[in-house]
Amino acid sequence: MSSAVAVPSTLVRHDWLQAVWRVADPKFTLASVAALIVGASVAGRDGAVSWSWLGVTVLGIFCVEAAKNASGEIFDWDSGTDPGIRDDERTPFSGGKRVLVDGLVTRREIALIAAFFYALGAAAGLAIVLIREPKVIWVGLAGFALAFFYHAPPLKLAYRGLGELAIGMAYGPVVACGTYLVQRHVISSAVVLASLPLVLAQMTCITYCEFPDSRSDAAAGKRTWVVRLGRARAAQIYPWLIVATYLLVAGLPLAGLPLSIWAGFAGLPFAIVGARRLAKFHDRPQQLTPAFPFVLAQFVVQAIGIGVGMLIGR
């Protein structure tokens, strides 16, 4: 969309601090926090935790998350996705970070912010690779690729119906296994298994967030699951994602994990709140807003439950 490649200079406020705050987006940083909790908890069960290296891991993941949000602003602006969202479709939890839409900075400036955070994340990862654990480079490269190509060509995962899976993998096994690897120098089957429910939980969350944007996404060629299925059908399938998530939690002891991992069921009540709201208001974006905090909370609470279950179970 040629009309969306630059922000008119007369509308730019050059509010860098607000732009950085938005791309950092503490609400959605919870996605990576959830997987960090699982990875660190399983590592803590298997040995002593190096808190300093855990801190470097957190910094690196946070920076890549912020960078992904910043670069995503550019690609979603250029495609017309973000500019195409109407006021009645906007919610605090969807529609991008609106850094360019609200004219906080120019396209070039948000590119500089993205580059800064990618560089900082890469520096944290390089420190881990050179000083702590060389094998982390492969997990780190996978995380970088999923982050950048979620929006960016040529893969444009979010535009090809693969964005939900990319989010699930990145904020599930990739972050959890990377965190564990930094601590234990190997990747155990336990951390892989414990992180699997997060794949579906994260996919459930991102799918909920896609409902308000689905009209604009469709117009811009962003083929999310909600766009492909339509709002009504996607709302019908949504509860089955939740069922699959918690069936997976229920089955983990069969794979050798402790029964205490069922503490992950603590996230289920929050998931139900989102599913009930969506069933009633899938075609009314503003009415979905009250349940967004519950949708976010469900995978964080699930991760805490899984983490605690792994720590106390043998």
pLDDT band at 37 (very low <50, low <70, confident <90, very high): very high
- Alpha-carbon gap, residue 107 to 73, rounded angstroms: 9
Write down the mean pLDDT value for the chain.
Answer: 91
Q: Do 208 and 278 meet the contact criterion of CB atoms below 8 Å apart? A: yes
Identify the pLDDT of residue 7. 56
- pLDDT tens, residue by residue, 201-250: 999 999 999 999 999 999 999 999 999 999 999 999 999 999 999 999 99
10 vs 21, residue with greater confidence? 21
- pLDDT tens, residue by residue, 157-211: 999 999 999 999 999 999 999 999 999 999 999 999 999 999 999 999 999 999 9
Six token digits for residue 70: 């910043």
pTM for the model: 0.92
Q: Which domains does the chain have, with CATH numbers?
A: 11-312 (1.10.600)
Six token digits for residue 269: 């009540």
Mean pLDDT across 282-302? 93
Of 69, 254, 249, 267, nearest to 170 (Cα)? Answer: 69
pLDDT band at 8 (very low <50, low <70, confident <90, very high): low
**Residue 46 CB neighbour total at 10 angstroms:** 16
Identify the pLDDT of residue 132. 97
Indicate whether 27 pLDDT > 80.
no
- Alpha-carbon gap, residue 273 to 308, rounded angstroms: 23
pLDDT band at 11 (very low <50, low <70, confident <90, very high): low
